């Protein structure tokens, strides 16, 4: 069992989202929505660093875009210690776009 720790100062935690959506049109809508929240690491897997409010927003949006009888979306919220234990081999995923750019 992962020990629970409070989120960092920004309040963001890593959420891994994996989906299996049967219909092409719904699948595209789900993917476009997820691109607004995180980084695609596999065709149907995204990593998102989100506050609690943004996580709830994402879940609500995806509920509207899927057919709950045919489709599945799974959310894996990583605890802080687990975030540091992610093992990745091969190509690294792209860096997420910053939400704010200071010029």
Could you list the residue range(s) of the whole structural domain that residue 64 is in? 13-83
Q: How many structural domains does the chain have?
A: 1
- Residue 99 falls inside a structural domain: no
pLDDT at residue 70 tops 90: yes
- Residue 49 falls inside a structural domain: yes
- Residue 102 falls inside a structural domain: no
Give tens-digit pLDDT for 28-69. 999 999 999 999 999 999 999 999 999 999 999 999 999 999
Q: What is the CATH number of the domain that holds 51?
A: 3.30.70.240
- Residue 93 falls inside a structural domain: no
Range 3-16 average pLDDT:
68
| Alpha-carbon gap, residue 85 to 100, rounded angstroms | 27
In this prediction, residue 21 carries a pLDDT of 97
- Residue 25 falls inside a structural domain: yes
Q: How many residues does the chain have?
A: 103
- Residue 1 falls inside a structural domain: no
Give tens-digit pLDDT for 78-91. 988 888 888 778 87
- Residue 78 falls inside a structural domain: yes
> Can you give the pTM of this predicted structure?
0.79
- Residue 90 falls inside a structural domain: no
pLDDT at residue 102 tops 60: no
22, 96, 99 from 36: Cα distances, Å:
21, 10, 10
Which class for 47: exposed (0-12), middle (13-18), buried (19 or more C-beta within 10 A)?
buried
| Alpha-carbon gap, residue 13 to 20, rounded angstroms | 23
In this prediction, residue 5 carries a pLDDT of 47
């Amino acid at each position: 069992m992962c020990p629970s720790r409070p989120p960092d100062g920004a309040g963001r935690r890593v959420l891994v989202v994996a989906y299996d959506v049967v219909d092409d049109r719904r699948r595209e809508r789900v993917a476009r929505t997820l691109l607004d929240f995180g980084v695609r690491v596999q065709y149907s897997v995204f990593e998102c660093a989100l506050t609690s409010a943004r996580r709830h927003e994402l879940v609500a949006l995806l509920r509207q875009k899927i057919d709950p009888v045919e489709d599945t979306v799974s959310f894996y919220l990583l605890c802080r210690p687990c975030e540091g234990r992610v093992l990745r081999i091969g190509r690294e995923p792209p860096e997420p776009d910053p939400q704010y750019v200071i010029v």
